[in-house]
Structure 1
């Protein structure tokens, strides 16, 4: 059983009752992704079913968003206030930082439920009681039952902040697909050759759609995917304020490989942890090198970015967030800190058992990769951590 682009598109149009997908760049990404899924991912039967359902839903979401925008042209006029964007690699504290900053009443993060099910646009009056919240919670509960280890690796919830890679998934330019499936040809195209400008234009349209009936004063966004395309991000949002999180890359690689092996193990019966680690080590270092270059050549202006080191953040989360607010010129009030403290108390780091992993399990040579990390670690003064 294989996936077919035409069948996916036709069935999505039928389900949505529409056929206008907006800007056409999405089609190349879908074609490349489907080809990689058919030829590289070694999908099992459940994997094919899951991928087909996921891709079809992404297409349906896109059709609905474009149709709503066409019927309500004022949506396209909505201004997106320069967002705060967390751009660190995954496994560096981005999720908890994102969730803490989302406790600020002035800030709004795209929540999991509204990103998964964006149509119709959420409304202020029912934002906390929309029936889609319970529907998404039920889906996440099913994931938890099937993959109990995942919840200890990554905080999930319908009301938790969602990553931008889940928004650009419906433009089919997203590293998210490379985490769920082994699709190296697609990821290499995405990182090296794909024009990311359409993805960020779609990203803006998605935020405008979410804000159509529930306006946002300030968006707080995050995604590890931004690290590879900082120029395209800032071309679309030139006044954005960036936060880059930093951690020993060898710890990042080990944690990432462990998590992705867990994810891919549900859709393929031939998952290889060491293969995943080798593949993603290259991607991770490429992203880190690009972030260094972006600082050196001025793509990311020094006055528009603040750096956070993982160890310091974990040791002093509220002091770190306070310093971020000060650097970005934002107000950090006692009320905001109180909300953040309540959230962290209700969601401690090891609430669901934590994430256990080792660098040894990656099969990578510590000395070789420590040397490879030197340029990034020296530039951002990132300390090495003890490895297992």
Structure 2
């Protein structure tokens, strides 16, 4: 059965939605200061020690990025503040556990399989397929949002309050934005991105998805992320100690621009690089962001949004091309090839990773594949030129440095 076709024809000037208007009206103004965030996180956790204070300037960059975006409404600003509080709360809990249980530092992260690919390039589907192999540890959304348990030992996942809170939050979000699952479903049990390992150190690009974070973008592009990857590995050690096993499957688009740091911190990792037409990536990503912006912005400038993410994806891909050959154990996966033969792609990944593709693993992966066909929530119509005013042929020439390097077939404007 063909997926339902979804056309979003009010990206630039959203039609009034009473539920969104009510949510905006009910949201109080927030003060985007470091002091306010720290006080709120300490009040939420009852903890004081956040470890090294070197993260404070980076927290300030996150907050200034939100504050300098004049297009954000009260919901956008409040959500930015809440996200910063959540990250500091995780940092506080993590420091408490690390100090209370010194054996966490002895945990070995064994040959992780790490997916690095542009957003909207099939990374979410691929990580969920691999995570269907019960031998691999992965990071469901509920645990990604709050990686440190509120108490030790944590309850079973189905009883964990972190999972229940995640379910409630994303159910409310999708009630306000009902077309979002067609672009990126946020099921609390689905496997999500490990970029949240860098969140408590305020060294990832999460704010860029919800505001025009020029300050943060420039900071991340100018600084080596290796120290923050080391911080993230410590957090991964805790998560393994709290709930094993110790061989992980991970994924994050931001690895594409941090391959050298990734290899330094995880030298035995098998890195899976997913490649897709960057124009298809950009039009999918900015359509999703623009749709969500009706909740968090008081004005929407689609050409500005396109310019921001064209530049951002270009930055990521230049770094990828420059650092790809540093990886001794890696595999390149083209989006179209993976969609045509998912099990064959997984077999290739397992071979490089030195992991046997058992009958049990095949059965789990096949079951996930059958339960989650592409487009099960509908197929969104994307129009990079019509909606965002982008010159498609010129943009394609701009990305030749990447598409030629990895022999990527065009999907947009053909």
2: distance between equivalents of 1:170 and 1:76? 18
Query: Could you tell me how far 1:265 is from its partner in structure 2?
Result: 3.1
Match of residue 193 from structure 2? 163
2: distance between equivalents of 1:125 and 1:56? 24
1: distance between equivalents of 2:149 and 2:360? 33
SS of the equivalent of 1:243 reads strand
Question: Are the structure 2 counterparts of residues 306 and 267 from structure 1 closer, same or farther at C-alpha, using a change threshold of 3 Å?
Answer: same
Select 2:165's aligned residue among 126, 135, 147. Answer: 135
Query: Could you tell me how far 1:115 is from its partner in structure 2?
Result: 2.2
Select 1:148's aligned residue among 158, 173, 178. Answer: 178
The answer to whether the 8 A contact 1:122-1:214 is kept is no
Across the aligned residues of Structure 1 and Structure 2, the Cα RMSD in angstroms comes to 1.8
SS of the equivalent of 1:221 reads strand
SS of the equivalent of 1:242 reads strand
Pairing of 1:347-362 with structure 2 (within 5 A): 347-360=372-385, 361-362=387-388
Match of residue 120 from structure 1? 150
Query: Could you tell me how far 1:245 is from its partner in structure 2?
Result: 0.4
Query: Could you tell me how far 1:134 is from its partner in structure 2?
Result: 2.7
Match of residue 172 from structure 1? 202
Structure 1 unaligned runs (5+)? none
Select 1:76's aligned residue among 93, 105, 112. Answer: 105
2: distance between equivalents of 1:10 and 1:217? 35
2: distance between equivalents of 1:367 and 1:21? 49
Query: Could you tell me how far 1:377 is from its partner in structure 2?
Result: 1.2
Does residue 223 (structure 1) correspond to residue 249 (structure 2)? The answer is: no
2: distance between equivalents of 1:194 and 1:121? 35
The answer to whether the 8 A contact 2:157-2:163 is kept is no
Select 2:356's aligned residue among 331, 336, 348. Answer: 331
TM-score (norm 1): 0.93
The answer to whether the 8 A contact 2:212-2:308 is kept is no
Does residue 263 (structure 1) correspond to residue 263 (structure 2)? The answer is: no
Does residue 182 (structure 1) correspond to residue 212 (structure 2)? The answer is: yes
1: distance between equivalents of 2:185 and 2:362? 20
Structure 2 unaligned runs (5+)? 1-28
The answer to whether the 8 A contact 1:87-1:245 is kept is yes
Does residue 300 (structure 1) correspond to residue 331 (structure 2)? The answer is: no
SS of the equivalent of 1:266 reads helix
1: distance between equivalents of 2:279 and 2:363? 34
Does residue 384 (structure 1) correspond to residue 384 (structure 2)? The answer is: no
Shifted more, 110-119 versus 218-227: the winner is 110-119
Q: Which runs of 4+ in 1 moved over 4 A?
A: 121-125
Question: Are the structure 2 counterparts of residues 79 and 120 from structure 1 closer, same or farther at C-alpha, using a change threshold of 3 Å?
Answer: farther
| CA offsets 1:22-52 (integer angstroms, 9 cap, x no match) | 2333212111111121112532112222222
The answer to whether the 8 A contact 1:106-1:217 is kept is no
Give the count of matched residue pairs.
Answer: 383
Query: Could you tell me how far 1:355 is from its partner in structure 2?
Result: 2.9
Query: Could you tell me how far 1:121 is from its partner in structure 2?
Result: 6.6
1: distance between equivalents of 2:163 and 2:44? 22
SS of the equivalent of 1:11 reads helix
Does residue 316 (structure 1) correspond to residue 341 (structure 2)? The answer is: yes
Match of residue 392 from structure 2? 366
1: distance between equivalents of 2:67 and 2:290? 19
SS of the equivalent of 1:306 reads strand
Query: Could you tell me how far 1:362 is from its partner in structure 2?
Result: 2.6
1: distance between equivalents of 2:230 and 2:365? 32
Question: Are the structure 2 counterparts of residues 122 and 149 from structure 1 closer, same or farther at C-alpha, using a change threshold of 3 Å?
Answer: farther
2: distance between equivalents of 1:122 and 1:348? 37
| CA offsets 1:85-104 (integer angstroms, 9 cap, x no match) | 10010111000000000001
Select 1:4's aligned residue among 33, 40, 43. Answer: 33
| CA offsets 1:304-339 (integer angstroms, 9 cap, x no match) | 110111111111111211122123222112221111
Select 2:117's aligned residue among 88, 111, 116. Answer: 88
TM-score (norm 2): 0.88
| CA offsets 1:112-166 (integer angstroms, 9 cap, x no match) | 1122232237858723443432332122111110111211111321111121222
The answer to whether the 8 A contact 2:76-2:210 is kept is no
Question: Are the structure 2 counterparts of residues 323 and 202 from structure 1 closer, same or farther at C-alpha, using a change threshold of 3 Å?
Answer: same
Match of residue 39 from structure 1? 68
